[in-house]
């Protein structure tokens, strides 16, 4: 993509009312637009990152048998009344609206109820199970405090998968697979080492739900981490009994701030009972379906990545999430032909490149923008590099600089398959 044609511009200042570092950087670098508090639009660069994250999630959900669908955001009140979750005193973050005829509707904050009802039309016998539908869809929550940028939206994207199993054993086996898949997702974007499986309340069947908490000062949650055992306990469930259950000692735990990037729940028969979602087994006997739900916030994950991977100059995208694999900078009119050629060669080789071909920006501005935007590899073509017959390659994370012949560079980019893991230095 030509940067001269990219309509988003970098800016020096983020909006005054923005306090979160992730949103400040993403707005300044032209990835997102703040529509109002807790409501953000994704601009071309931001959408590329979000799509990368969604693809990583899709791949892992598909690998454990997930089937993607897309449910409506508009919700039927009567469906939610079945589980008593329409009541504002039970769920306090509903956005509700009305049809012209006065009937009330809700804007979905999750999808257990409508999906369980829908699945009644598809699950009758043991042959129909297990089933793992999932979606990446917009949720609405009337959050009270929205100080965490794109990590806490009133309108936000959620990947929510729901498992429908015949019995506890089948459920538990999938639950463990989902836990592993979540681990892979967070590792893919470089957060594996600091993201902990965290025991939390909220399971309506099992005692605990499992949160995936990324240790970070910008996090809104407090967790107690066992470095050795690689698990944590959420402050909300932190008591003697829980520690005893998990075989943890107070002395081995450290208090940390963390971001809840994912949460998985065993739901038991709570929803299948409410909607009479049964199946008939081999002997003709009826049983309620055992359910689970598995959420990740792709936008929150993107915000967490920015919080963790950034410095005083801007964002430092991990390869798997980066909007482009390389950022090519052309410095000066005299080199534009050579830089154009490098860009075309990269394109032909299938390397996703953002090409800063702007004629009206100084070298200093281009360098500052490249640091702010944070693409992992910066390639520079300048009179100096041309003199040597080479291209300058810089790693945004390590700052390491290397001069490489163009042919050698493109070849390397191809053999390394560029995304998700480019390693030049």
* Residue nearest Mg ion (C-beta atom): 263
Other Cβ atoms within 10 Å of 70 Cβ, number: 8
Burial class (CB in 10 A: 0-12, 13-18, 19+), 6: middle
CB-nearer residue toward Mg ion: 265 or 309: 265
Q: Which is nearer to Mg ion, 40 or 109 (CB)?
A: 109
Site for Mg ion in 255-274 (CB under 5 A): 263
Q: Name which of Mg ion, ligand ATP, none residue 152 binds, using a CB cut-off of 5 to 8 Å depending on partner kind.
A: ligand ATP
Nearer to ligand ATP, 222 or 403 (CB): 222
Tell me which residues in 296-355 interact with ligand ATP (CB under 6 A): 296-297, 299-300
Given 14, 158, 351, 410, the residue binding ligand ATP (CB under 6 A): 158
- The answer to whether residue 34 forms part of the interface with ligand ATP (CB under 6 A) is no
Using the minimum distance from each CB to Mg ion, give the nearer residue, 52 or 263: 263
Contact segment (CB under 6 A) with ligand ATP among 151-159, 187-195, 230-238, 305-313 equals 151-159
Identify the H or E element spanning 54: helix 44-63
**Shortest distance, position 180 Cβ to ligand ATP, whole Å:** 17
The alpha-helical segments, DSSP class H, found in 65-205 are 77-81, 112-119, 168-188
In angstroms, the CA 164 to CA 65 distance is: 12
Q: How is residue 408 written in tokens?
A: 């050698």
Determine if 156 is a binding residue for ligand ATP (CB under 6 A). Answer: yes
Contact 261, 298 (CB under 8 A): no
Residue among 194, 170, 174 at smallest CA distance from 294: 174
Q: What string marks each residue from 74 to 113 as x (binds ligand ATP by CB under 6 A) or -?
A: ------------------------------------x---
399: left (phi over 0), alpha (psi -120 to 50) or beta: left
Stretch that binds ligand ATP, among 65-73, 124-132, 148-156, 393-401 (CB under 6 A): 148-156
- What is the smallest separation between the CB atom of 237 and ligand ATP, expressed in angstroms? 13
Supply angle C-alpha 99, 105, 109, rounded to 5.
145
Cis peptide before 420 (omega within 30 of 0): yes
Instruction: Round to whole Å and give the CA distance between 304 and 351.
Output: 26
Binding site for ligand ATP (CB under 6 A): 110, 141, 143, 152-153, 156, 158, 260-263, 295-297, 299-300
């Amino acid at each position: 993509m030509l940067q001269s044609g990219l309509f988003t511009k970098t800016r020096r200042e983020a909006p005054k009312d923005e306090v979160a570092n992730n949103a400040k950087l993403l707005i300044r670098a032209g990835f997102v637009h703040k529509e109002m508090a807790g409501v953000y639009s994704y601009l071309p660069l931001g959408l590329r990152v979000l799509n990368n994250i969604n693809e990583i999630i899709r791949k892992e959900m598909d690998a454990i048998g997930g089937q993607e669908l897309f449910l409506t955001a508009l919700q039927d009140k009567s469906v939610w009344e079945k589980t008593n979750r329409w009541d504002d005193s039970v769920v306090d973050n509903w956005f509700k609206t009305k049809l012209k005829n006065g009937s009330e509707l809700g804007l979905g904050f999750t999808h257990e109820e409508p999906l369980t009802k829908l699945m009644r039309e598809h699950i009758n016998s043991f042959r129909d199970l297990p089933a793992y539908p999932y979606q990446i869809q917009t949720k609405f929550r009337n959050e009270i405090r929205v100080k965490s940028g794109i990590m806490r939206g009133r309108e936000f994207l959620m990947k929510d998968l729901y498992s429908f199993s015949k019995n506890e054993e089948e459920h538990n086996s999938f639950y463990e697979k989902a836990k592993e898949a979540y681990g892979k997702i967070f590792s893919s974007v470089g957060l594996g080492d600091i993201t902990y499986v965290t025991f939390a309340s909220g399971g309506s069947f099992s005692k605990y739900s499992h949160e995936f908490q990324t240790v970070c000062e910008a996090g809104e949650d407090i967790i107690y981490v066992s470095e050795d055992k690689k698990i944590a306990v959420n402050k909300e469930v932190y008591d003697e009994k829980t520690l005893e259950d998990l075989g943890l000692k107070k002395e081995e735990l450290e208090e940390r701030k963390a971001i809840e990037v994912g949460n998985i729940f065993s739901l038991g028969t709570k929803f299948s009972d409410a909607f009479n979602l049964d199946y008939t087994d081999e002997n003709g006997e009826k049983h309620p379906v055992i359910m689970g739900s598995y959420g990740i916030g792709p936008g929150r994950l993107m915000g967490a990545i920015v919080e963790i991977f950034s410095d005083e100059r801007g964002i430092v995208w991990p390869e798997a999430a980066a909007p482009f694999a390389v950022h090519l900078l052309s410095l000066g009119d005299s080199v534009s032909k050579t830089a154009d050629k490098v860009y075309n060669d990269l394109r032909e080789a299938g390397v996703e490149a953002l090409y800063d071909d702007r004629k009206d920006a100084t070298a200093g501005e281009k360098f500052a923008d490249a640091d702010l935007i944070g693409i992992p590899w910066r390639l520079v073509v300048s009179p100096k590099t041309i003199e040597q017959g080479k291209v300058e390659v810089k790693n945004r994370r390590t700052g390491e600089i290397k001069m490489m012949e163009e042919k050698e560079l493109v070849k390397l980019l191809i053999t390394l398959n560029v995304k998700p893991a480019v390693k030049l230095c």
